[in-house]
Structure 1
Amino acid sequence: MPPDGCNCGRSRPPRTTTPLLTDDLVIASRARAREPELPAATVAHALATLVPAKLARYDAIVLSAAPDQIERDTRIAAEFARHDHRVFHFGAQRNRRQRPAAPNLQRLPMPSRDDALLETLAALRDAEGIEAAMLFAPDTLDAGIAGEVRRRWGWRLVVSTGAPVALRDRADVLLATEKFEFATINEQTVVFLPEMSWPERWAVLDRAFRATWPRASIVVITWDNLAFSRLCLASILQNTEYPNYEIIVVDNASTDGTVAELRRLATEAPHLRPIFNPHNAGFGPANNQGLAAATGEILVLLNNDTVVPHGWLTRLARHLEDPAVGLIGPATNRTCNEAQLDIPYQTYGEFRHIARTQGEKSKGQRHPIRMPMMFCLAFRRDTYERLGPLDEQYEVGMFEDEDYALRAKAAGLDVVWTPEVYIHHAYHASIGKLLPTGEYMRLVRLNQGRFEEKWGICWERHRPAPAPAA
């Protein structure tokens, strides 16, 4: 290996693990896509396969236009690739002695004009499905182009302390090398000291970059259903490239191995924090426990019978940058209202394709809705502080989401859903256990009465939007 810990972008050999989410894994029936049951083969696979703790990574885009920065940029690109980021290096020098790049490092030609650069980055984003990204900008980059990249896609900018003031003013992170004695050092600045190895330099850059994103807290409730929980948690870890988040799992006294799995995951994924209840606290109280423990500025309630796609959290967070938005939910295969989009699929691979297609054709779209169902609901901390916790009078679960939506609207906040994010939802995987006994309908009537008494209105049933005419 060359000095300073660089291996020219070649990743360390990964540990061999059995993948849980594979493209051929059946997660829904084409004929009964709305039902919570999983095929027996999928359940057996999920029960036999541990959730891999390997995390998704944000992407790194390196623009090398300044000749005196190309060597540094090449080392940065290689180090980020070695840490499993996808890296797109524009303007990288090529020579016969150069080692082959890692599979996750692409060397691309640098466009000669700034207007062409913006078009090239837009095409790259669409082709590669880039969401959260760190852009290393050369000193020669036009400040207007840098600002447009930040405005359009939310990519964070890393700029040298020696860049022009107009470009430095756009930066999220300032990068100083050993020649920084004349630079102004502040809390945005990352310093590359001569004695630092390249892995150490990656680590300080990674910490600084993650801190530029508001922290998000994902709250998941579990009550048995280990197969569903494993699929859900695996999809979060594998597909959430959002750079700054935590997972809080509140377990309602599971007895099927869920507790042991959560304890194992907490040791391998430090940003996952389990809370173990001695009894089934119910949906509302358990979510309130998770929200009380959350440290994020963005809060997400996510059912354990969901599977999330790449980019889901980054897109929801982007909508929440609008202070008018109070609550936002995604599109899905199964809910009770117009956010249900009946798109047939069966396997995880087909779901991933549908989610990506939806994201591409629905960029930035959101629509008012009476109630975004709480299988996935995102909101900012300031909204939570205005509205308070979920109302715990609704026994076991149901009507908390209806109640919370009315509280948000009463506070003057927009309640919306976005077709840009498409999440698989098995629906009623937990509370559906009460259907055969009739207990489910008893709870519906009981909680409906509580809701109507609280709000002084007659509740009306939701209806999914009709399918478009053939």
Structure 2
Amino acid sequence: MYSIVIPCRNGSATLSDQLEALLAQQHAADVEIIVADNGSSDGTAELVRRFIEMDERIRLVGAGGRPGINHARNVGILASRGTAVLFCDADDVVEPGWIEAHVRAFERGADCVGGPLRRVLPNGMSDGTQEAVSTLHRFHPWPPGANCGVRRDVFDRIGGFDESLRGGGDETDFFWRAAEAGHPTTAVPEALVEYRLRENLRAVSRQFFAYGRGTVRLFHRHGSRGMPRSLGWDLPAVIVVGVLQIVSARPGSARRRRGVERLASRAGRLVESMHSRTWYL
């Protein structure tokens, strides 16, 4: 059996699209779909129960003991019955063939898997595709948390997701620890997820600010293991490019969004570097 875990907090507005996409998948594997509810205060639980009435493969588990996506991931996987677990998010949509592609990778011997994200703007236009595994920090490749998976025995061996990490670096730390234990991530380019981008640029700014802070925390943990330090020599160029992208692009454009992402991430790095006294720009 293969398990699919969806960590979710207040996802009633989007979750139905993801569940419908998962139920429509064509595959030969025996699967279960677990929604790990991280203390939702909206109608998430009621929505999932309606889906359970239609398909017994769906399960709802309470994961409200501690805020954070890693807590929900851990609770979901501990409740799972599969030999391997796939993760996707409540506000995205898996594309046809997603389950089958990941299952094939596991059957070929993969311990950890990751798939690409097709970035979709709120207006439905494409903003490119994020690779299945990233080497952004010039260290171990890691998959996006919205499209990844791990064998259950590997999860048990390395101790699960670190629940103290929230807002950035959460899945990266897990897959780096897996790689250091001899379980690298296998890229599965056929397993595509439609990654639905946020509309509000203030929310985008908060999201990438947290990502930036998370990157510094990753260096604090993994710098002694080989993660290279970023001294920020490129910071002036990053600021100039980011500002130009914001002021020269039309509202709602992908270019303006990229500028906000770029500047917010570096601002997060700066703040966390000063807070933790760990220089990483």
Same fold (TM over 0.5): yes
Letter in 2 for 1:273: R
CA distance in structure 1 between the aligned counterparts of 2:203 and 2:80, rounded to whole angstroms:
32
CA contact (8 A) 2:9 2:37 kept: yes
User: Which one has a larger percent helix, Structure 1 or Structure 2?
Assistant: 2
Are the equivalent residues in 2 in contact too, given 1:367–1:417 (CA < 8 A)?
Answer: yes
Residues 398-413 of structure 1: pairs in structure 2 closer than 5 A: 398-413=168-183
Asked if 1:394 corresponds to 2:165, the answer is yes
Structure 2 residue 18 is the aligned partner of structure 1 residue 232: yes
CA distance in 1, matches of 2:134, 2:6: 25
User: 1:106-138 CA distances to partner (integer Å, 9 max, x unpaired)?
Assistant: xxxxxxxxxxxxxxxxxxxxxxxxxxxxxxxxx
Say whether 1:435 aligns with 2:199: no
Structure 2 gap segments, 5+ residues each? 127-131, 136-140, 233-281
Instruction: Give RMSD over aligned pairs.
Output: 3.3
Show the counterpart of 1:270. 56
Report the Cα offset of residue 281 of structure 1: 1.9
Counterpart AA for 2:115: P
- Cα 1:398–1:224 change in 2 (3 A) is same
Instruction: State the TM-score, normalized to the length of structure 1.
Output: 0.42
Provide the rounded CA distance (Å) in 2 between the counterparts of 1:433 and 1:295. 39
1:420 aligns with 2:190: yes
* CA distance 1:393–1:428, change in 2 (3 Å): farther
Q: Distance in 2 between matches of 1:367 and 1:303?
A: 17
Contact 2:117 2:147 in 1 (8 A): no
CA 1:257–1:367: 2 relative to 1, 3 Å: closer
For 2:218, the equivalent position in structure 1 comes to: 451
Deviation of the 1:243 alpha carbon:
3.4
Alpha-carbon contact 2:114-2:133 (below 8 Å) kept: no
CA distance in 2, matches of 1:416, 1:368: 11
5 Å matches for 1:40-439?
Answer: 215-278=1-64, 281-323=67-109, 325-334=110-119, 346=124, 370-395=141-166, 397-427=167-197, 435=203, 439=206
Q: Deviations over 1:184-206 (max 9, x none)?
A: xxxxxxxxxxxxxxxxxxxxxxx
Identify if the C-alpha distance between structure 1 residues 246 and 435 changes in structure 2 by more than 3 Å, giving closer, same or farther: same
- Hey, what's the Cα distance between the residues in 2 that align with 1:367 and 1:223? 25
Q: CA deviation at 1:368?
A: 8.4
Deviation at 1:299, TM superposition (A): 0.6
* SS of residue paired to 1:333: strand
One-letter amino acid of the structure 1 residue matched with residue 148 of structure 2: L
2:274 aligns with none
Work out the CA distance in 2 between the residues paired with 1:434 and 1:410.
36
Query: Could you tell me how far 1:256 is from its partner in structure 2?
Result: 2.9
Q: Which of structures 1 and 2 has the bigger CA Rg?
A: 1
- Return 5+ residue gaps in structure 1 as ranges: 1-214, 335-341, 351-365, 462-470
**Secondary structure of the equivalent of 2:111?**
strand
Structure 2 length normalisation: TM-score? 0.67
Determine helix, strand or coil for the equivalent of 1:261.
Answer: helix
Alignment of 1:4-23 (within 5 A): none
Alignment check: 8 A CA contact 2:111 2:183 kept? yes
| Distance in structure 1 (CA, Å) of the matches to 2:201 and 2:28 | 34
Provide the C-alpha distance between the structure 2 equivalents of 1:447 and 1:368, rounded to a whole number of angstroms. Answer: 15
- Check conservation: 2:175, 2:184, Cα contact below 8 A: no
Q: Is the 8 A contact 2:63 2:71 kept in 1?
A: no
Provide Cα deviations, 1:113-168, integer angstroms capped at 9, x if missing partner.
xxxxxxxxxxxxxxxxxxxxxxxxxxxxxxxxxxxxxxxxxxxxxxxxxxxxxxxx
* Identity between Structure 1 and Structure 2 (%): 24
Measured against aligned partners, the alpha-carbon deviations of 1:225-277 in whole angstroms (never above 9, x if no partner) come to: 32321111110011253430101101122233222111222233222111234
Counterpart of 1:451, as a letter, is: L
The letter for the 1-side match of 2:149 is A
User: Is the CA contact 1:232–1:306 (under 8 Å) kept in the aligned structure 2?
Assistant: yes
Shift of 1:434: 7.2
Going from structure 1 to structure 2, the CA distance change for 1:302 and 1:367 (only over 3 Å counts) comes to closer
